[in-house]
Structure 1
Amino acid sequence: MRRLLSITLLVGCVSATPAMADNGPDWAPCAGDQRQECATIEVPLDYRGDGRIRLAISRIRTAKPETRRGVLLLIPGGPGNSGLYRPLTHGMRLPREVLDRYDLVGFDPRGVGQSTPITCGLTGDDAHPRNFQAWPGPGGDITANIARAERVAKACTRDPLVRHITTRNEARDIDQIRRALGERKLSYWGVSYGTYVGAVYSTMFPDRVDRVVLDSSDDPDPRRVAYGWVNNFAIGAEDRFPDFAAWAAQRANTYGLGDTPAAVRQTYLELAETQPDVRAYLFQALYADTTFPLMAEFMRAARAGDPLPTIPVPPPDQYQNTYSVLIATGCNDVAWPRSVSTYAKAVARDRLEYPLTAGMPQNITACAFWPYPPAEPATRVKPSPKVLMIQNLRDPATPYSAGLKMREALTAPLVSVNAGGHGAYFANGNACGNEAVTAFLVHGTRVSKDC
Structure 2
Amino acid sequence: MRAAVLYGTVGAVVLSGLGAAPAEGDMTRTAADAVAVAAERAADEGIRFGKCPAAEGLPTTVQCGTVKVPLDYARPDGRQISLTVSRIEARGKDAKGRKVARQGALVFNPGGPGASGMFFPLIGHLPDWKRIGAAYDLVGYAPRGVGRSAPLSCQDPKHLHRGPAPAPTHPSESYKKERVARAKAYARGCARRSGSALRHYHSLNNARDLDVLRAALGEPRLTFMGASYGTYFGALYASLFPSHVRRMVFDSAVNPAPEQIWYRNNLDQSAAFEGRWADFRAWVAKHHRVYGLGDTPRKVLRSYERASARLAARPAGGTVGPGQLQGAFLQAAYYDDHWPQRALALSAYLKGDPKPLIQIAGPYPEAAAEQENTKAVYTAVECNDAPWPTRWKDWNRDNTRLARTAPFETWDNVWTNLPCAYWEGPRQQPLDVRTGPGELPPTLILAAERDAAAPYDGAIELHRRLWGAVLVTERDAGNHGVAGGSNTCVNRYLEAYLLRGRLPERRAACAARPEQEPRAVRGGAAVPELRALRG
Give the TM-score of the pair, scaled to structure 2: 0.76
Give me the whole-angstrom Cα distance separating, in 1, the residues matched to 2:236 and 2:4: 16
2-side partners of 1:392 and 1:260: how far apart? 25
Say if 1:153 and 1:367, in contact at 8 Å, map to a contact too: yes
Match of residue 353 from structure 1: 405
Q: Label 1:7 to 1:414 Cα distance change in 2 as closer, same or farther (>3 A).
A: closer
Amino acid of the residue matched to residue 130 of structure 2?
A: R
Aligned to 1:442: 499
Deviations 1:312-355 (A, max 9, x none): 65600100110000000000001110001111112210111213
Q: Distance in 1 between matches of 2:375 and 2:7?
A: 9
Q: How does 1:18-167 map to 2 (within 5 A)?
A: 23-31=45-53, 32-49=58-75, 50-64=78-92, 67-89=101-123, 92=126, 94-122=128-156, 126-127=160-161, 138-139=171-172, 141-158=175-192, 159-160=194-195, 161-167=197-203
In the TM superposition, residue 148 of structure 1 has moved relative to its aligned partner by 1.2
1:33-432 matches, within 5 Å, as 33-49=59-75, 50-64=78-92, 67-89=101-123, 92=126, 94-122=128-156, 126-127=160-161, 138-139=171-172, 141-158=175-192, 159-160=194-195, 161-268=197-304, 272=308, 275-301=322-348, 303=350, 306-307=353-354, 308-311=357-360, 315-362=367-414, 365-374=418-427, 376-383=428-435, 384-411=440-467, 412-418=469-475, 419-427=477-485, 430-432=487-489
Partners of 2:6 and 2:118 lie apart in 1 by 17
CA RMSD of aligned residues (A): 2.9
Contact in 2 for aligned 1:393/1:420 (Cα 8 Å): yes
Q: CA deviation at 1:211?
A: 0.8
Cα deviation for residue 245 of structure 1 reads 1.6
Aligned AA for 2:276?
R
Measure how far apart 1:303 and its partner are.
4.3
Q: Are 1:239 and 1:395, in contact at CA under 8 Å, matched by a contact in 2?
A: no
What 5-or-longer segments of structure 2 have no aligned partner?
13-41, 93-98, 313-321, 511-535
**Cα deviations by residue, 1:118-137 (Å, 9 ceiling, x for unpaired):** 11124676545988x99766
Distance in 2 of aligned mates of 1:298 and 1:37: 38
- Greater Cα shift, 250-259 or 182-191: 250-259
Contact 2:246 2:441 in 1 (8 A): no
- Given that 1:297 and 1:309 are in contact with CA atoms closer than 8 Å, whether structure 2 keeps it comes out as no
Distance across 1 between alignment mates of 2:159 and 2:287? 35
Tell me if the contact between 1:236 and 1:399 (Cα under 8 Å) persists in the aligned partners: yes
Is residue 111–residue 165 contact of structure 1 (8 Å, CA) maintained in 2? yes
**Equivalent-residue separation in structure 1 for 2:203 and 2:445 (angstroms):** 19
User: What amino acid is aligned across from residue 199 of structure 1 in structure 2?
Assistant: A
Structure possessing the higher radius of gyration over alpha carbons: 2
Deviations 1:229-265 (A, max 9, x none): 3222223213322331232113323332211234324
2 CA distance for matches of 1:360 and 1:394? 20
- The separation in 2 between residues aligned to 1:134 and 1:70, in whole angstroms, is 47
Q: Residues 103 and 444 from structure 1, CA distance in 2 versus in 1: closer, same or farther, beyond 3 angstroms?
A: same
Q: Distance in 1 between matches of 2:237 and 2:323?
A: 39
User: How many angstroms apart in 2 are the aligned matches of 1:21 and 1:425?
Assistant: 30
Alignment correspondent of 2:17 = none
- TM-score by length of structure 1 reads 0.89
Q: Which moved more, 1:136-145 or 1:83-92?
A: 136-145
SS at match of 1:100: helix
Per the TM alignment, residue 272 of structure 1 is displaced from its structure 2 partner at its CA by 4.8
What SS does the aligned partner of 1:169 have? helix
Question: For residues 97 and 7 of structure 1, what CA distance do their matches in structure 2 show?
Answer: 20
CA contact (8 A) 2:160 2:368 kept: no
User: How far apart, CA to CA, are the structure 2 residues paired with 1:130 and 1:212?
Assistant: 42
Is this contact kept in 2: 1:232–1:361, CA < 8 A?
A: no
The aligned residue for residue 16 of structure 1 is none
Name the % identity. 34
Change (3 A) 1:157 1:40: same
Alpha-carbon spacing, 1:126–1:27, altered in 2? closer, same or farther (3 Å) = closer
Alpha-carbon distance in 2 for matches of 1:300, 1:5 = 26
TM-aligned CA distance change 1:263 to 1:139, over 3 Å: farther
- How has the CA–CA distance of structure 1 residues 130 and 74 changed in structure 2, closer, same or farther, with 3 Å as cutoff? farther
Matched residue count: 441
Contact 2:129 2:484 in 1 (8 A): no
- Distance change in 2, residues 1:56/1:226 (3 Å): same
Cα 1:106/1:92, change in 2 over 3 Å:
farther
Post-superposition Cα deviations, 1:422-442, rounded to whole Å, max 9, x if no partner, equal 110123x61111111111111
1:397 CA displacement: 0.7
The CA deviation string for residues 251-293 of structure 1, in whole angstroms up to 9 with x for no partner, is 3233322112343244445655663443222112222122113
Deviations 1:123-171 (A, max 9, x none): 676545988x997664575222201111110111121332211111011
Are the equivalent residues in 2 in contact too, given 1:30–1:37 (CA < 8 A)?
yes
| C-alpha distance in 2 between matches for 1:218 and 1:195 | 7
Separation of aligned partners in 2, 1:157 and 1:135: 29
Q: Distance in 2 between matches of 1:341 and 1:252?
A: 42
Take 1:240 and 1:155, find their aligned partners in 2: how far apart are those partners?
34
Amino acid across the alignment from 1:3: A
Alpha-carbon spacing, 1:299–1:259, altered in 2? closer, same or farther (3 Å): same
Q: Which residue of 2 aligns with 1:3?
A: 3
Aligned mates of 2:163, 2:375 — CA distance in 1? 9
Q: Is contact 1:127–1:320 with CA below 8 Å preserved after alignment?
A: no
